[in-house]
Amino acid sequence: MISGTAKSPAQNPVLRNLQFSPIKQGDDQLIVLWDPSGLSREKLVLPLNLFFIVQHFDGEHSLQEIGVLYLKRFGEFLMPSKVEQLVTDLEQNLFLEGPRTESARQQACIVYRQQTARQAAFAGRSYEVDSAKLRKQIDGFFTSAEGPDFKPSEHQGKLLKGLVVPTYDLKQAGSIYAWGYKELQEAHQPEVYVLIGTAHAGLGNLFAVTDKDFETALGLVSVDQPIVNRLKSVAPEFFEEDIAHQSEHAIEFQLPFLQTIIGKPFTMVPILSSFSALSLNDPTVRNSVDRFLTALRDTIAFSGKTVCMIAAGELAHLGLRYGDSAPPTDFSFHRSMQHDLEMLKQVEELKPDGFADYIRKEGDQRRISGFSPIYSLLRLIQAEKGQVLRYDRGITDQYNSTVTYASMAFY
């Protein structure tokens, strides 16, 4: 029997779960890399030939093998000094897995857990940092031409069981958020809000709960400690990646809306999730998801409190930035919109398996990033029906890369 040998990180580098986007500088097309987890605050701009190299930093390809692929692709030899400098730059920026990154990750966890609250990470960048200006900004999303009108909801006064809302940049998608939160504003208020948001940087354990309160420009939002503490006692592994909350915007973007429309202190359970419809075919993934959702459902039932589930996530991701070979056209966007609305019929009808099956049949080619929070909501919620309130898209780069999103309500 031939035994395998361990591959050297120096010769088989592993790129972390980074995000990238194509940019134009004059006539040149470049790629910018950054770390969505926030562990590295740096951005690295690469020409296309160097980006080709780092795409093969998967731990499987050696530098020598990458050199052969580079020669076939570009018709020139890859100089060892060039690739060594690239590896050094990536390592220094904490873009590669290895001892340097692991040490930084452990130190960041220590610092985060010493903090008294999760601090606002996007105030002043994605929304106003001044409380008065922030309230005015949120109000403007409701009253804008794209926002909800002033006609009362047909469900006014009823208990809203859940919402699906975007996590997209507030300056572009704020009015779509407002369609969902207007329903909540007019509803009978629950005792606690369970927020499940997309972990854009990914999670090893699929879910990450934090017990920290969240600071915003409008004050402190408190975690429901009895619920969170009980959940931690029965499913502690889902608290191991709590640092994922530090730089994730999915939940932070919801809080100014909640604080504005509720107008009084409230408690929440902040959860991040990250798994795909395709990954549910893996028994290990399925068992982990089932374990967490069962623990959360039982914990909420034990509390005896009324809850509103809020799933925060996007739908389709189209274009060069997300791995397509060409920018989206008007035709391809409208075709995707039709698929989105067909897919959301499964969500409206409270069919989590139907929602997952729809995406699996597509091979998740449209990269539904909000699958995990929406699927989790459907597994947990006890509602009679759902309704799409508003649907739209955002443009993310110079190449017309597109993200779609919607607001939905469940009663």
Tens of pLDDT, residues 66-81: 999 999 999 999 998 9
What are 163-181's pLDDT values in tens digits?
999 999 999 999 999 999 9
The pLDDT of residue 379 is above 70: yes
Inter-residue contact 170 to 217 (CB < 8 Å) = no
User: What tens digit of pLDDT does each residue of 29-53 get?
Assistant: 899 999 999 999 999 999 999 999 9
CA pair distance 404, 395, nearest whole angstrom: 9
Helices (H) and strands (E) in the chain, counts: 12, 13
Average pLDDT over residues 298-317: 98
- pLDDT, residue 24, reads 87
Q: What is residue 386's predicted lDDT score, i.e. its pLDDT? A: 97
Percent share of the chain, pLDDT over 70: 99
**H or E stretch at 120:** none
User: What 3-state DSSP class applies to 188?
Assistant: strand
Q: What is the pTM of this model?
A: 0.91
Residue 123 pLDDT level (bands cut at 50, 70, 90): very high
Give the three-state DSSP class for 255: helix
Q: What's the mean per-residue pLDDT of the chain?
A: 94
User: Rounded to the nearest 10 degrees, how much is the dihedral formed by the CA atoms of 120, 126, 132, 138?
Assistant: -110
47 three-state secondary structure: strand
Is the pLDDT reported for residue 3 higher than 60?
no
- Specify burial of residue 266 (Cβ count, 10 A radius: 0-12, 13-18, 19+): middle
The topology (CATH level 3) of 117-410 is Protocatechuate 4,5-dioxygenase; Chain B (3.40.830)
The CA radius of gyration of the chain, in Å to the nearest whole number, is 22
Domain limits, the chain: 19-106, 117-410
Judged by DSSP in three states, 293 sits in helix
Q: Decide if 45 contacts 32 (C-beta within 8 A).
A: yes
Q: How confident is the model at residue 9 (pLDDT cuts 50, 70, 90)?
A: confident
Determine the Cα–Cα distance for residues 317 and 30; give it in Å rounded to an integer.
20
Tokens of 269: 């359970």
At residue 2, the pLDDT reads 44
